[in-house]
Every structure is written in C-alpha cells, then in structure tokens.
C-alpha cells in the first residue's frame, strides 16, 4: 500500500501492528550511545519531516528518551504489518540548519 498524503506519525502507526528496529538502526544508534528505547521514543513522540511515497519511507524527527536531543529516524512501511526503523542519526549542522530543517 502506498500512502501518498502521510503527514502524521499517528496515521502511519494506525496502519501497522508492529514496530521493528533493523540491525543497522541499532548499530548506528549504539555508535551514538542510543538504545532501542531512545529510537522508539523518537518515533512515537515525533513528527514526519519528509515522506518518500515511492520508497514507502518517512523521515521522523523526535526526542530521545534519555538525552536532551532530537533524533532523525528513517522508517520503512512497505510491510503491511510492521514499520521498520531502518536507520537513526543525530542531525548535524552542516546538513541541517535546525533539528527539522535541511540546510
């Protein structure tokens, strides 16, 4: 299912039963001292920054559970039953003017 007018995380989550974390997301998070709870907290409490309907992916910005910082999480919704957090990163200033605006 391609969702073209996706604007809120709640709309994305309403269509899926499961949230999974890819090994790559866990690996990238670990390099930044993040845990799975930080990634999940960012997704469930964040907002969609960018939507890529042809790839069935969204970029979600949300707060870390344990640190005072924003995380960017790329999530894939190609699976009917699950959302997959593909990767996570802390937005850095050369690429991002702010936590939610690309430079």
Residue pair 101/38 in contact by the 8 Å Cβ criterion: no
- Does residue 102 carry a pLDDT above 90? no
Q: 77-88 burial by CB neighbour count: b if 16+ within 10 A, else e?
A: beeeeebbbbbb
Supply the pLDDT for residue 12.
78
- C-alpha 34/C-alpha 57 separation (Å) is 22
CB–CB of 36/20 below 8 Å?
A: no
pLDDT one-digit tens code per residue, 10-65: 777 887 889 999 999 999 999 999 999 999 999 999 999 998 989 999 999 999 99
Measured between alpha carbons, how far is 42 from 19 in angstroms, rounded to an integer?
A: 12
Task: Give the separation between CA 86 and CA 6, rounded to whole angstroms.
Answer: 18
61-97 tens-digit pLDDT:
999 999 999 999 999 999 988 999 999 999 875 665 5
pLDDT at 2: 45
Q: Which residue has the higher pLDDT, 89 or 6?
A: 89
CA angle 19, 20, 24 (to 5 degrees): 145
pTM: 0.84
């Amino acid at each position: 299912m391609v969702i073209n007018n996706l604007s809120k995380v709640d709309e994305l989550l309403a269509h899926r039963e499961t949230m999974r974390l890819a090994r790559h997301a866990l690996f990238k998070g670990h390099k930044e001292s993040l845990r799975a709870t930080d990634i999940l907290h960012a997704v469930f409490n964040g907002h969609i920054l960018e939507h890529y309907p042809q790839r069935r992916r969204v970029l979600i910005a949300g707060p870390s559970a344990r640190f005072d910082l924003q995380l960017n999480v790329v999530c894939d919704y190609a699976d009917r039953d699950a959302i997959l957090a593909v990767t996570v990163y802390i937005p850095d200033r050369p690429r991002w003017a702010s936590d939610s605006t690309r430079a």
